[in-house]
Structure 1
Amino acid sequence: MTDTRQIPLYRTIWRWHFYAGLFVIPFILVLSVTGAAYLFKPQIDRWEERAWRGLPAADAVDADAQVAAALAANKGAAFHYYRIPEAPGDAAIVHLGLPGGAMRDVAVSPQGRVIGSADPDARWSAWLARLHGSLLVGRSGKLLVELAASWAIVMILTGLYLWWPRGRGLAGVVWPRLSLGGRAALRDLHAVTGFWVSGFALVLLFTALPWTDVWASGFRAVRAEMGWVSGVQD
């Protein structure tokens, strides 16, 4: 039987898989860590707002009075939204747009007193979101992350081609042959693990790309062309 590794197409795809992996793995590590950390945004925000929680709840005023207090403390600001307190003794967060264009989260006690404020862009969760989406370098970073995500798809698809059984049994295809030891066991571990996670990884990538730059533009064009958009988009 001819060794598939000697087939030119197989060797070409192996090179594509290898070089794609060299490029995308550092990005995958950064995006995985920052994305996993961002899942804890509510807990991180609660920690940052710990001084605005557990306040006396007696003589509480209504939401309108709390919004009015926030606006009175920030002359010329525009009201954007009101975040309902999680517990009776927690401060309400009034999100305002300042005259210069900056945004501000204003903490108002249950009694209607402004007790603090924060720049929403300076929060830890906002920093994690920027690191995850743009590597903290703006649009260039967004395009680089999008390019890495696109090449990750190439890496997965070429990896599946290399994994394809081609008449072999289930060992080394569905489960790794660790008893082989050495490089053969490592190769099986890599291939089998890649096969089992590839479906989840492709779902993750394809659902993330519509939020990027170039892919998002194409996605919007397809939606408009197919008539999937009704009314004015938010």
Structure 2
Amino acid sequence: MTNNSRSPENQGNTSLYRAVWRWHFYAGLLILPFMILMAVTGAAYIYRDEIDDWYHADLKFVEASGNAVLPISSQIDAALLPVPGTPVKVLPPADPTRSTEIVIAADAGGRQAVYIDPYRGDVLGHMPDRTTLMWVVRRIHSLAEFGTIPNYVIEIASGWAILLVLTGTYLWWPRGDQKGGVVTLRDTPKRRRWWRDAHAVTGIFIGIFIIFMAATGMFWSVFWGKYANEFANGTPNGYPSGVRVDVPLSTIPMIEAFGETSWTNENIPLPQSVDGGIGQTANPGPIGIDRAMSIFNEMGLTPGYAISLPRGETGVYSASIYPDDLSLQRVIHLDQYSGRPLIDMGYDDYGPFGKIMEFGINVHLGQEFGIANQILLLVICALIIFMSVSAGVMWWKRRPVGALGVPPMPRDTRNLTVVTAILAIGGIIYPMVGASMIVIWLLDYLFVVRPQRKMRAARA
């Protein structure tokens, strides 16, 4: 005869199990819809280059020609014909079949990305900057597409995902003479126990990946990511040592100039040009974009880099490249008058924290290990979706009719206090998560615990 009291479904008889289960339930209730959203959009974004190249092929590709590529200055002139304004960024083609992308701060307002045939100077088309299909998917992935407040929600969901894995691991942990539900499935999909086992077994195999993805995703978050970046780069642990040089710095961060940079470089201020300008007879005028690009090529910058053009008299020519190979990451700033390199930095210059974070983010984006990285992340995203669906099915089969189905309170409420205190450590590390934990705790007390106590008192 089987001792069902030792099966996972009946571990609710122990106060500690109930306490952990209760928080696991609330974590899932809070974030499962966001887990599905992040998994679906994340799976698509893994193949961002492939999808954008297919969807925007008419803008991104040209017929390779035996003719010489036109000077970038001529291509900028061509881009200004349909979109009058001020050129701010240039993305020269990475290979002979690619178009040139030129970003214009339009006189009519906003920024437009204009695509040019580099051999003929023809305008292939233009669209608002950073509105490609995959840019939209990326913004939906972080909820940035819907404003700042929803962006905070994703930060909270990422923190709760970590707590969800930790509490789920405790609930999965084999107890007594448990035979199934550890690495095997019991029953059939018609039964709740099959869904419980499928959920638990899947979770234990991919839990470490969920923690990794949630933790590395936090570095883009609007609250924690900002302060983590400031903390890291307040010491040589984050900013490349090449930034800490004796050159005048502006107040313009790199992310504002380029729109997208590595996490470590986001808030690095651009340097200022000092070798010429008004009143300087030695270098009366700027070197121009064609000469600047020639210098970047002579310095061995990997093709596919982007160039931010000088802003005002003290602006600089800045080129950056963030390829899949971390060792090829590089940023070069040139004085716009002399062409002198003011700062030249790469991955090897990063501090230890910066290197760790860049590696983690590169894996998060599916870049570090090529196709294998992409396939692994795609499988993980699919399993996250399955786990989320199985959690919903499991809850639906268990919940009482007309009730939310919150797991029962532990008989010894001190266990709930202990578990809450342990989880609060995560709330301290991620303050937005901590704030949401307080809200959940208050709602649980006001609308679940207190009414149940009143009901028991009335029955007594």
- TM-score for the superposition, normalised by structure 2: 0.46
Query: Which residue of structure 1 aligns with residue 336 of structure 2?
Result: none
Deviation at residue 28 of structure 1 after TM alignment: 0.8
1:187-206 → structure 2 map (5 Å cutoff): 187-206=196-215
State whether residues 81 and 96 of structure 1, in contact with CA within 8 Å, keep that contact through their aligned partners in structure 2.
Answer: no
What per-residue deviation string (whole Å, max 9, x for no partner) do you get for residues 48-88 of structure 1?
43334344735443342323422455433123122315444
* Of 45-54 and 133-142, the range deviating more from structure 2: 45-54
Query: Which residue of structure 2 aligns with residue 104 of structure 1?
Result: 112
Name the structure with the higher helix share.
Answer: 1
Query: Which residue of structure 1 aligns with residue 125 of structure 2?
Result: 116
**SS across alignment from 1:78:** strand
Identify the match of residue 75 of structure 1 among 59, 80, 84. Answer: 84
State whether residues 96 and 105 of structure 1, in contact with CA within 8 Å, keep that contact through their aligned partners in structure 2.
Answer: yes
User: Is 2:190 the partner of 1:165?
Assistant: no
1:20-35 → structure 2 map (5 Å cutoff): 20-35=27-42
Larger-Rg structure? 2
Deviation at residue 168 of structure 1 after TM alignment: 4.4
Identify the match of residue 43 of structure 1 among 50, 66, 73. Answer: 50
What per-residue deviation string (whole Å, max 9, x for no partner) do you get for residues 108-157 of structure 1?
12212223211134322222111111263210110011111111112111
Matched residues, percent identical? Answer: 30
Letter aligned with residue 23 of structure 1: L
Query: Which residue of structure 1 aligns with residue 249 of structure 2?
Result: none
**SS across alignment from 2:142:** helix
User: Is 2:12 the partner of 1:5?
Assistant: yes
1:133-148 → structure 2 map (5 Å cutoff): 133-134=142-143, 136-148=145-157
Structure 1 residues 224 and 57: alpha-carbon distance in aligned structure 2, compared to 1, 3 A threshold:
closer
Query: Which residue of structure 2 aligns with residue 223 of structure 1?
Result: 232
**SS across alignment from 1:141:** helix
**SS across alignment from 1:23:** helix
Letter aligned with residue 62 of structure 1: L
Query: Which residue of structure 1 aligns with residue 101 of structure 2?
Result: 93
State whether residues 80 and 97 of structure 1, in contact with CA within 8 Å, keep that contact through their aligned partners in structure 2.
Answer: no
State whether residues 20 and 167 of structure 2, in contact with CA within 8 Å, keep that contact through their aligned partners in structure 1.
Answer: yes
* Of 208-217 and 35-44, the range deviating more from structure 2: 35-44
State whether residues 106 and 118 of structure 1, in contact with CA within 8 Å, keep that contact through their aligned partners in structure 2.
Answer: yes
Using the alignment, how far apart are the partners of 2:32 and 2:235 within structure 1?
35
Using the alignment, how far apart are the partners of 1:15 and 1:130 within structure 2?
32
RMSD, matched Cα = 2.8
Structure 1 residues 49 and 192: alpha-carbon distance in aligned structure 2, compared to 1, 3 A threshold:
closer
Structure 1 residues 5 and 93: alpha-carbon distance in aligned structure 2, compared to 1, 3 A threshold:
same
**SS across alignment from 2:41:** helix
Structure 1 residues 82 and 160: alpha-carbon distance in aligned structure 2, compared to 1, 3 A threshold:
same
Letter aligned with residue 22 of structure 1: L
Q: Which runs of 4+ in 1 moved over 6 A?
A: none
Letter aligned with residue 46 of structure 1: D
Using the alignment, how far apart are the partners of 1:134 and 1:185 within structure 2?
34
Query: Which residue of structure 2 aligns with residue 155 of structure 1?
Result: 164
State whether residues 14 and 158 of structure 1, in contact with CA within 8 Å, keep that contact through their aligned partners in structure 2.
Answer: yes
Using the alignment, how far apart are the partners of 1:87 and 1:178 within structure 2?
58
Structure 1 residues 17 and 220: alpha-carbon distance in aligned structure 2, compared to 1, 3 A threshold:
same
Letter aligned with residue 7 of structure 1: T
Structure 1 residues 41 and 131: alpha-carbon distance in aligned structure 2, compared to 1, 3 A threshold:
same
Letter aligned with residue 212 of structure 2: V
**SS across alignment from 2:65:** coil
**What residue ranges of structure 1 are gaps of 5+ in the alignment?**
none
Using the alignment, how far apart are the partners of 1:152 and 1:68 within structure 2?
50
Using the alignment, how far apart are the partners of 1:158 and 1:95 within structure 2?
48
Deviation at residue 43 of structure 1 after TM alignment: 2.9
Identify the match of residue 14 of structure 1 among 8, 15, 21. Answer: 21
Deviation at residue 94 of structure 1 after TM alignment: 1.8
